[in-house]
Amino acid sequence: KPQSYMFAQMRQALGIPKSTDILDHLHALPQPAQDEAQTAIRAIERAAMVEQEAQPGLNELISYLEGRGVRMGLCTRNFDAPVTHLLQTFLPGKTFSPIITRDFRPPKPDPAGILHIAQAWDLQDGAESLIMVGDSLDDMVAGYKAGAATVLLACKENEGLVEHECTGVAIGRLDELVGMLEEGFEEREREGEGEGVKNGAGLEG
């Protein structure tokens, strides 16, 4: 489940305001300050890692996608340890490749990570046949800019993103996506656009 409280802790540790992007700030620091800041941020992530909870419907969605041979990748701003912990704890034996972590630059909201996945899969339409599933503004913006369909996993903390121009459709549980895919996935019609139908691989940030 979302652990958005981490971001306030990270900004407090770094002494930066909410308006400053955490990773942009980290990458702009000189050495050895950058390494020290990275260590502080990773300590916060490791502490939160042990409190991770699976999103409702996660296993149902992944089993559905796996059963239909749908490729799955991950695009996240986390470093590798929390990602490994999540996969080993909640999705043992499931295949996600490529896995884009903080080491990949530029990070979300830049679409480069999603486009990298599309290239790794040798997709001929760029990212247009991908579905980006996520719960943050960075997820929606990155997916939209890459040309992918976007699915917001909505909750109280991000309800303001449901009608955002970069959000294609919103769901309350991950397994809601199963029925949408079975019926023929469609994003909502955005202002100035016609409805589009996009099917493909699920990406979770």
pTM of the model: 0.84
For 157-203, what is each residue's pLDDT tens digit?
Answer: 899 999 999 999 999 999 999 999 999 898 987 665 543 444 444 44
Mutual angle of helices 112-120 and 137-146, in 10-degree steps: 50
More confident residue, 9 or 188: 9
| pLDDT score at 3 | 65
CA distances from 12 to 7, 16, 136 (A): 8, 7, 20
pLDDT over threshold 80, residue 80: yes
Does the pLDDT at position 155 exceed 80?
Answer: yes
Q: Is-cis flag, bond preceding 106, omega within 30?
A: yes
Average pLDDT rounded to a whole number, residues 38-43: 92
Name the one residue in this structure whose structure tokens are 């050895």.
32
Does position 204 have pLDDT exceeding 80, yes or no? no
